[in-house]
Amino acid sequence: MKLAQSHSYYIKSVIEIESERERESNLMATSHVDVPGEPTETGTALLETATGTIQGFQPINNIHQHLCAFHFYAHDMTRQVEAHHFCGHLNEDVRQCLIYDSPNKDARLIGIEYIVVESLFLTLPDDEKPLWHSHEFEVKGGYLFMPGVPGMVERQDLKQVCKTYGKVIHFWQVDRGDPLPLGIPQIMMALTRPGQLDENIAKDVEKRFGVSFEEQREQRKDLTGPDHGIHPLANAAGRGLKTELREVDIPPATSMPRVFV
């Protein structure tokens, strides 16, 4: 049974965990900019160690998986970002991920991704579908991977991910060197065909994580994308998207809302 085979891989891998973790501490993204501000004070750190122990973190504890992939801006493919997803299942068909710019302790939280199965994607309104992107190419292409997880186990999950659609919003434009999360949210897209991913970024990630996208491609030949093919409205409906901020009129701050009257 596939699961039993995977079990032996788990055991072998437990032994590899320590060395993997050491390697990970050297995995700084190349465009790392220091976040402005003073180092954390002892008192603050102590308090947070305490709250970290006392309080409940159930939603965070639901996050069980680290996926690395690449995003680019829905209005600009030339701006590409290495995206570390930390994902949890809401149910079998929906996942939600926190996106960081590295797998390290000091990683910046730069965005969010939601992942849904094809059947749910198809229920989305037509004006919503363009904000979502397909995963087939980046999975089959080998570009989306789970650092530290052996290929055979990884592929069990990637088999599902290959058929899903994702919605990614970034808040911190680290690729342009922003020291803080400036500006408005950005809708992001993912790789959909060869030639899109910047070669330097690709090589850098392959080197730092000890992976080969080409090798992964070979191993993932039997994975298949959405059963109904990639929807024409997905991936920004084949064009592009941008976000804009707009001021809106609201009732004066001092006027009394009905509910209090």
Give 100 or 142: the residue with its C-beta nearer to another protein: 100
Residue labelled with tokens 């919003």:
169
Give 111 or 226: the residue with its C-beta nearer to another protein: 111
Give 222 or 254: the residue with its C-beta nearer to another protein: 254
Q: What are phi and psi of 223, to 5 degrees?
A: -75, 145
Give the three-state DSSP class for 99. Answer: strand
Give 221 or 259: the residue with its C-beta nearer to another protein: 259
What's the closest the beta carbon of residue 206 comes to another protein, in angstroms? Answer: 18
What's the closest the beta carbon of residue 148 comes to another protein, in angstroms? Answer: 5
Amino acid identity for residue 237 in this structure: A
Amino acid identity for residue 98 in this structure: L
Give 195 or 218: the residue with its C-beta nearer to another protein: 195
Give 61 or 218: the residue with its C-beta nearer to another protein: 61
- Burial profile 74-102: b = 16 or more Cβ within 10 angstroms, e = fewer: beeeeebbbbbbbbbeeeeeebbbbbbbb
CB neighbours of residue 217 within 10 Å:
13
Q: H or E stretch including 234?
A: helix 234-237
Give 221 or 239: the residue with its C-beta nearer to another protein: 239
What's the closest the beta carbon of residue 76 comes to another protein, in angstroms? Answer: 4
What's the closest the beta carbon of residue 159 comes to another protein, in angstroms? Answer: 10
**Contact indicator for 97, 128 with CB cutoff of 8 Å:** no
Please tell me the distance from the alpha carbon of residue 261 to that of residue 259, in angstroms, as a whole number.
6
What's the closest the beta carbon of residue 209 comes to another protein, in angstroms? Answer: 12
Please tell me the distance from the alpha carbon of residue 74 to that of residue 173, in angstroms, as a whole number.
13
What's the closest the beta carbon of residue 208 comes to another protein, in angstroms? Answer: 15
**Contact indicator for 168, 25 with CB cutoff of 8 Å:** no
What's the closest the beta carbon of residue 218 comes to another protein, in angstroms? Answer: 22
Helix axes of 2-24 and 151-161: crossing angle, nearest 10 degrees: 100
**What are the residues whose beta carbons fall under 8 Å from the beta carbon of 79, sequence distance 6 or more?**
72, 73, 175, 176
